Amino acid sequence: MDNRSNGAMYVPEGSSQPVVPRGTFKVGAIGLDHGHIFGMNKGLQDAGATISKVYDPDPEKVAAFLKAFPEAVAADSKDEILADPEIKLVSSAAIPSSRFGIGMEVLDAGKDFFSDKPPFTSQEQVTEARRKVKETGLRWFVYYSERLHVEAAVFAERLINDGAIGRVVEIRGWGPHRLSLFSRPAWFFEKDKYGGILTDIGSHQLEQMLFYTGAKDAKCLSSRVGNLNHPEHPGLEDFGDATFITDNGVPCYVNVDWFTPDGLGTWGDGRLLVIGTKGYIELRKYTDVARSNTPGHVILVDEKEERHFEVAGKVGFPYFGRMILDCLNRTETAISQEHIFRAIELALEAQRKAINITRA
Taking the chain (360 residues) in consecutive chunks of 10 residues, what is each chunk's mean pLDDT? 56 80 97 98 97 99 98 98 99 99 99 99 99 99 98 98 99 98 96 98 98 99 98 98 99 99 96 99 97 97 98 96 98 98 99 95
The region that residue 263 occupies, defined by phi over 0 for left and psi between -120 and 50 for alpha, beta otherwise, is: alpha
What sign has the CA pseudo-torsion 121, 125, 130, 134? negative
pLDDT at residue number 1: 41
Pick from 95, 99, 57: nearest CA to 78: 57
Domains, the chain, in order of start with CATH, read: 7-144+327-332 (3.40.50.720), 147-317+348-356 (3.30.360.10)
pTM across the whole model: 0.95
pLDDT at residue number 5: 57
> Do the Cβ atoms of 302 and 284 come closer than 8 Å?
no
Please provide the distance, in angstroms rounded to a whole number, between the alpha carbons at the two ends of the chain: 40
CA dihedral 141, 145, 184, 271 (to 10 degrees): 150
Angle, alpha carbons 150-303-167 (nearest 5°): 60
CA atoms within 13 A on the CB side of 168: 30
Q: Report d(CA 184, CA 34) in Å as an integer.
A: 10
Q: Please, which residues have CB within 8 angstroms of residue 10's CB and are 6 or more apart in sequence? A: 2, 3, 4, 35, 39, 267
> Do the Cβ atoms of 232 and 253 come closer than 8 Å?
no
User: How many Å separate Cα 16 from the centre of its chain?
Assistant: 20
> Do the Cβ atoms of 342 and 211 come closer than 8 Å?
no
